[in-house]
Copies of this chain bind each other. A is one copy, B any other.
Amino acid sequence: MNNFDFCSPTRILFGKNTQKEIGKLIKPYAKKILLHYGNSSIKQNGLYEEVINSIKTHEIDFVELGGVVPNPRLDLVHEGIKLCQKENIELILAVGGGSVIDSAKAIAMGFYYEGNIWNVYETKEEVKKALPVACILTIPAAGSEVSCHTVITNEEKKSKYGYGSQILKPILSIINPEIFFTIPKKQIANGVSDMISHVFERYFTNTEHTDLTDGLCESVVKTIMKNALIVIDDPNNYEAWCEIGFSAMIAHNDLLGMGREEDWACHAMEHELSAKYDIAHGAGLAILTPNWMEYTCSEKPNIFAQFSINMMGVNENRNQNAVIREGIKRLREFYIKMNLPKTLNDVEIDQTNLEIMAKKAVNFESKKNQTIGFFKKLHWENIYEIYKKSLNE
């Protein structure tokens, strides 16, 4: 096990009616807030009104900025920063999924940053200060409600970059699984794919002696897969949504990666797809992950056998290659049951830009940082192979 430094300070209020507590809970932090959200769905399902009522009851002043889209845009972040500065905002309340929360984090650090906040995403320079962010989660997926990460898309440059800092961890996240009942099935599937990937990115490691976190990862993935198949058929199943909402949070609050070298190649490869083609992140991950597994599994077969047996429920009494093949096959079958795309063709990506994206993934132009992934370091040629392999069945 490697040395580690773990802190997950976000307070999680979880369960029925918890969104009604928001005013009371943020009152100690702010007299005036930015209410940040995506589209009109929170107005249709009544959440917007509940939040406004709670904020007003506790005499918290607010301004609003809606319009966050999936793969959230830098332009809106700039608009949010200006608005917060003009209005002397003290806290940003993100009501939405990962995109809204990521956008809120970008605004939160942009508030104090001198210059274009995009520099931070490009250069990874250390940011020292950010406004506090609180969240009401409307879709479990990205784990941004507990993570230090934010991913923003620069439309102009067709670039999608992430940034992480301890100061970006939300102070509070409210998770009421009842709010998830109205999530469209496509988004359920994309979210599930993303949260499972957050575990895989940590699970596949070169670090030895990781009994505890291996077991925790396996429990989280099994819980997500079992309950994802329930909610995709029965979206009003509160108990199954509880399991998924709780799991998505644990999948990305850093715990599962503690003491382990993590990988993150699939996320990096996917970011190129969604930056270029604006496909859903979870869809891209579902396409790439089994292909990445097949491409890398011969490097360290034991961990793939363990994945097959402990996560995918494959019987261990056969030869290791067969166990691994069966595990990956079951993962593909799960994605199919969730109606996730199988190939790049399914999301209308052909071979045109594969080489360009593979080179961009490793920042090939700048000659720095020429591999991605730690479990198996991938050069652009490897990524290109995985992309090509993902084109067709």
Contact of A5 (CB < 8 Å), options: B12, B213, B216, B220: B12
Alpha-carbon separation in the docked complex, A208 to B237 (Å): 14
Q: Which residues of B contact A320 (CB under 8 A)?
A: none
Minimum CB–CB distance for A252 against chain B, Å: 14
Chain B residue nearest to A224 in the complex (CB): B212
Question: Is A233 among interface residues, defined by CB-CB distance under 8 A?
Answer: no
Please, which residues of chain B bring their CB within 8 A of the CB of A1? 15, 239, 242-243, 246
Residue A227 interfacial (CB < 8 Å): yes
Q: Which A residues, 194 to 213, have Cβ-Cβ distances below 8 Å to chain B?
A: 208-209, 211-213
CA distance A223 to B215 in the complex (A): 8
Q: Is A222 an interface residue (CB 8 A)?
A: yes
Tell me whether A226 is interfacial, beta carbon within 8 Å.
yes
Q: A219 contacts which chain B residues (CB < 8 A)? A: 212, 215-216, 218-219
Please, which residues of chain B bring their CB within 8 A of the CB of A10? 7
For A208, give the chain B residue with the smallest CB separation.
Answer: B239
Chain B: which residue is nearest A11 at the CB level? Answer: B7
Q: What residues of chain B lie closer than 8 Å to A13, measured between beta carbons?
A: 4-5
Q: Closest CB-CB distance, A57 to chain B, in whole Å?
A: 20
- Chain B residues with Cβ below 8 Å from A4 are 12-15
A16 close to chain B: CB less than 8 A = yes
Chain B residues with Cβ under 8 A from A255's Cβ? 250, 255
With A212-B247, A223-B212, A239-B209 already in contact, the answer to whether A5 and B11 are too (CB < 8 A) is yes
Docked pose: A247 CA to B240 CA in angstroms:
27
**A29 close to B (CB within 8 Å):** no
Bound together, the chains give a CA A226 to CA B9 distance in angstroms of 30
Is there a chain B Cβ closer than 8 Å to A349's Cβ?
A: no
Asked if A162 lies at the interface with its beta carbon under 8 angstroms from chain B, I say no
Q: By the criterion CB–CB under 8 Å, are A6 and B16 in contact?
A: no
Question: A243 touches which one: B15, B18, B212, B220 (CB < 8 A)?
Answer: B212
Shortest Cβ distance from residue A310 to the other chain B in the assembled complex, whole angstroms = 10
Q: Which B residues are CB-close (under 8 A) to A216? A: 216, 219-220, 250
Query: Quick one: CB contact mask for A140-158 with B, threshold 8 Å, 1 for yes?
Result: 0000000000000000000
Complex interface bits, A234-254 against B, C-beta within 8 A gives 1, otherwise 0: 000001101100110010000
Q: List 16 A-B contacts (CB under 8 A).
A: A1-B242, A1-B243, A2-B15, A4-B12, A4-B13, A7-B9, A8-B8, A8-B9, A14-B258, A209-B240, A212-B243, A215-B222, A215-B223, A216-B220, A242-B259, A246-B258
